[in-house]
Amino acid sequence: MSAGSRASWRTPERREAAMAMALQGVTSMVNAGAMSGSGNLMDFLDEPFPDVGTYEDFHTIDWLREKSRDTDRHRKITSKSKESIWEFIKSLLDAWSGWVVMLLIGLLAGTLAGVIDLAVDWMTDLKEGVCLSAFWYSHEQCCWTSNETTFEDRDKCPLWQKWSELLVNQSEGASAYILNYLMYILWALLFAFLAVSLVRVFAPYACGSGIPEIKTILSGFIIRGYLGKWTLLIKTVTLVLVVSSGLSLGKEGPLVHVACCCGNFFSSLFSKYSKNEGKRREVLSAAAAAGVSVAFGAPIGGVLFSLEEVSYYFPLKTLWRSFFAALVAAFTLRSINPFGNSRLVLFYVEYHTPWYMAELFPFILLGVFGGLWGTLFIRCNIAWCRRRKTTRLGKYPVLEVIVVTAITAIIAYPNPYTRRSTSELISELFNDCGALESSQLCDYINDPNMTRPVDDIPDRPAGVGVYTAMWQLALALVFKIVITIFTFGMKIPSGLFIPSMAVGAMAGRMVGIGVEQLAYHHHDWIVFRNWCRPGADCVTPGLYAMVGAAACLGGVTRMTVSLVVIMFELTGGLEYIVPLMAAAVTSKWVADAFGKEGIYEAHIHLNGYPFLDVKDEFTHRTLATDVMRPRRGEPPLSVLTQDSMTVEDVETLIKETDYNGFPVVVSRDSERLIGFAQRRELILAIKNARQRQEGIVSNSILYFTEEPPELPANSPHPLKLRRVLNLSPFTVTDHTPMETVVDIFRKLGLRQCLVTRSGRLLGIITKKDVLRHMAQMANQDPESIMFN
């Protein structure tokens, strides 16, 4: 389309057709079918090559190209929709398919979350006993159905029998205790063994939390099967098993993975999403939001989590759709009502007491603790995971899981705070002590003369139970901290939210009780005098537990706004945003002071995924010329010329290199860039031409220009490959600062970028080169970037 040819455009139609022709270079022939009207302008190859436009496994997608392909598809449907009623309806269906997919994802993710909750509830109780009336009832369901129980002894109902009662008819005594202990360990081992075996045999991708991989996939990487149907099934089943086994892990991260699998499954039903990797990732972003929504009962927090933590490309349309999916999922889960409290999570709480400015100090202390825990956890966990990868340890994943489960069960059972499920523990720690509370944590010494309404209990001195609980909590805290480091990263589904929150909640509750007792016994101290009079209810230890949980979760994941919003949705009140935020900010600052990476980024680096983090700031003064290939001393760049190479030359080049594509230049002397050809498409085009076109032999000249080159009379028929040529490759000059190049790669989602000076091609920068350079500048081992 030179200046001369433009003059020949007479009618708008021809112009449009010619433009469309030119666009083919970008859209890579996928929609060539739509072009059949402009016959005289067509290339030799009428049909699109099969498989063009899909990517290979462990490769990076080109966001610009995917977007352009979707626009083409959309344009085609819009123009067709005017032809007939049927096409119009089809275009409407296409426009609505996004909402339908969101609805389906919400429904399935909510249902799965409900089923998982119910199954975990039952199987956790199965470790302690069984319901005689129906073995599939959990402890609570069993006792609810038996009529004779009153509120007080709802924990002791005849239909629910501990294993010792059932097997040897003893409910008390040392032998009963030991029998129950053994049954607890056995069930835990059975569940864990089943889980790890299922993962090993059927779906190796089902292990871990999945969030690092989902972040990588959403940034444009292809990992086939990671979001497949088998992964969905096995992850759901094994998640129930591992959570029930009592291991120190949570279901929240894996639920995000499960929701993304749902998203991938439903997007494969609609060609709009299944055939476009960019559009598919929009669906997956929304699915991640739905996953967090059901994990925490926080639809808004889920959307923000997806936006802040997981997603890469998040247009406003996706924001709105994510919100819809998150809401549908939350309401589905609510209709299932797995916890019987009309709430979406086990640990929903509502406080009614205000907090005071002076309390900010312990809250900030908890933030510091959360930051330190985050740093400690990330360092130790990464060190352990690296050891697992590099030593013989990694060869026995089943044994590892069995050993860790056994240790967990043996140590956890004697301590009431580790024996129960972690969610229940968090729930108890978050709860304020009411008048009817039977927990050890609420064993305060009541003033017999005081007659007040039950919901406004003043601060009281701690009783024996509270002191016992403090010791047990301290032991449980140490145990949780250590065992979580070894648990996260094993070959089973494992989330990190719940253990982190548990660590923070335990620390927070202890601090809270400490402050409460201090305030009770020292009303006259200056710090307490202004806000805590005798007989007042000034300190809420449950609030401290919640603040601690937020701090620890923030320290590990480095979430900020989404964390506070999730916590805000848990408590349902704006009042506590300031304490939560103070703790979250402190925790992030403290943790960031020791290392910028959150646990997910650390695992991404550990696994060497090519992930270009939006949050990292690149501030070095290097230039594109320092990063591009070929470097000085390396062989020159492999290029194609526009009209002087033979089929054989190109085939040899393809065979001898493994580059993803080749720049096309005018000639080797001038090195002026005219375009870029993808390896995959070159191979397909040549293969197709050799099979279908007559006269194409090894020494046929390949040309990328509009007109065939002038050849000697007896030379074989030339092969036109303009169609596989991307006429608008992305270029930067060699003087472009790498900072700008990194920004371009991030924002436009490029795979590669060509480097020129004064129009001459100098080299190429791929995403991998950028990542390697960034690792190098950060003094990391650049070879840790493995894939692609």
Exactly one of 617, 656, 669, 694 binds its own copies (CB under 8 A); which one? 617
Coil, strand, or helix at residue 640?
A: strand
Does residue number 436 form part of the binding site for its own copies (CB under 8 A)? no
Does residue number 727 form part of the binding site for its own copies (CB under 8 A)? yes
- CA–chain centroid gap for 591, Å, is 21
Q: Which is nearer to its own copies, 533 or 760 (CB)?
A: 760
Does residue number 777 form part of the binding site for its own copies (CB under 8 A)? no
Does residue number 709 form part of the binding site for its own copies (CB under 8 A)? no
Rounded-to-integer distance, Cα 562 and Cα 462, Å:
36
Contact 556, 599 (CB under 8 A): yes
By CB under 8 A, the residues from 510 to 539 that bind its own copies are none
> For the CA atoms of the chain, what is the radius of gyration?
31
From the CB of 671, what's the least distance to its own copies, in Å? 9
By CB under 8 A, the residues from 320 to 349 that bind its own copies are 320, 323-324, 327, 330-331
From the CB of 666, what's the least distance to its own copies, in Å? 6
From the CB of 316, what's the least distance to its own copies, in Å? 6
Does residue number 565 form part of the binding site for its own copies (CB under 8 A)? yes
Contact 258, 293 (CB under 8 A): no
Please give the structure tokens belonging to residue 456: 């406004």
From the CB of 744, what's the least distance to its own copies, in Å? 7
Please name the residues in contact with 673: beta carbons below 8 A apart, sequence gap of 6 or more. Answer: 663, 664, 665, 729, 731, 754, 756, 759, 760, 761
Q: Which is nearer to its own copies, 206 or 327 (CB)?
A: 327
Contact 509, 473 (CB under 8 A): yes
Please name the residues in contact with 229: beta carbons below 8 A apart, sequence gap of 6 or more. Answer: 261, 265
Does residue number 76 form part of the binding site for its own copies (CB under 8 A)? no
Q: Which is nearer to its own copies, 92 or 399 (CB)?
A: 92
Please name the residues in contact with 120: beta carbons below 8 A apart, sequence gap of 6 or more. Answer: 240, 243, 244, 251, 421
From the CB of 320, what's the least distance to its own copies, in Å? 5
Rounded-to-integer distance, Cα 526 and Cα 523, Å:
8
Does residue number 22 form part of the binding site for its own copies (CB under 8 A)? yes
Give the largest Cα separation in the chain, rounded.
116
Exactly one of 10, 395, 621, 655 binds its own copies (CB under 8 A); which one? 621
Size of the site for its own copies (CB under 8 A): 81
Does residue number 88 form part of the binding site for its own copies (CB under 8 A)? no
Q: How many CA within 13 A on the CB side of residue 236?
A: 24
Rounded-to-integer distance, Cα 215 and Cα 13, Å:
44
Contact 188, 127 (CB under 8 A): yes
Rounded-to-integer distance, Cα 253 and Cα 570, Å:
18
Does residue number 760 form part of the binding site for its own copies (CB under 8 A)? yes
Q: Name the strand (E) or helix (H) holding 104.
A: helix 85-126
Exactly one of 258, 549, 623, 701 binds its own copies (CB under 8 A); which one? 623
Does residue number 758 form part of the binding site for its own copies (CB under 8 A)? yes
By CB under 8 A, the residues from 35 to 74 that bind its own copies are 64, 67-68, 71, 74
Stretch that binds its own copies, among 161-169, 172-180, 576-584, 679-687 (CB under 8 A): 576-584
Please name the residues in contact with 507: beta carbons below 8 A apart, sequence gap of 6 or more. Answer: 366, 369, 477, 548, 552
By CB under 8 A, the residues from 684 to 703 that bind its own copies are none
From the CB of 2, what's the least distance to its own copies, in Å? 8
Q: Which is nearer to its own copies, 224 or 631 (CB)?
A: 631
Contact 584, 563 (CB under 8 A): yes
Q: Which is nearer to its own copies, 256 or 627 (CB)?
A: 627
Q: Name the strand (E) or helix (H) holding 756.
A: strand 752-757
Q: In sequence order, what DSSP letters do the residues of 480-532 get, joined into one string? A: HHHHHHHHTTSSSB-BSHHHHHHHHHHHHHHHHHHHHHHHHHTTTSHHHHTT-
Q: Which is nearer to its own copies, 615 or 687 (CB)?
A: 615
Binding mask 281-320 for its own copies (x = CB under 8 A): ------------------xx--x----x------xx--xx
By CB under 8 A, the residues from 656 to 685 that bind its own copies are 666, 672-675
Q: Which is nearer to its own copies, 344 or 682 (CB)?
A: 344
Q: Which is nearer to its own copies, 224 or 757 (CB)?
A: 757
Does residue number 13 form part of the binding site for its own copies (CB under 8 A)? no
Does residue number 728 form part of the binding site for its own copies (CB under 8 A)? yes
From the CB of 631, what's the least distance to its own copies, in Å? 10
Does residue number 6 form part of the binding site for its own copies (CB under 8 A)? yes
Does residue number 643 form part of the binding site for its own copies (CB under 8 A)? no
Q: Which is nearer to its own copies, 619 or 691 (CB)?
A: 619
Does residue number 447 form part of the binding site for its own copies (CB under 8 A)? no
Rounded-to-integer distance, Cα 315 and Cα 62, Å:
17
From the CB of 568, what's the least distance to its own copies, in Å? 7
Exactly one of 28, 440, 646, 736 binds its own copies (CB under 8 A); which one? 736
Would you put residue 657 in left (φ > 0), alpha (ψ -120 to 50) or beta? beta
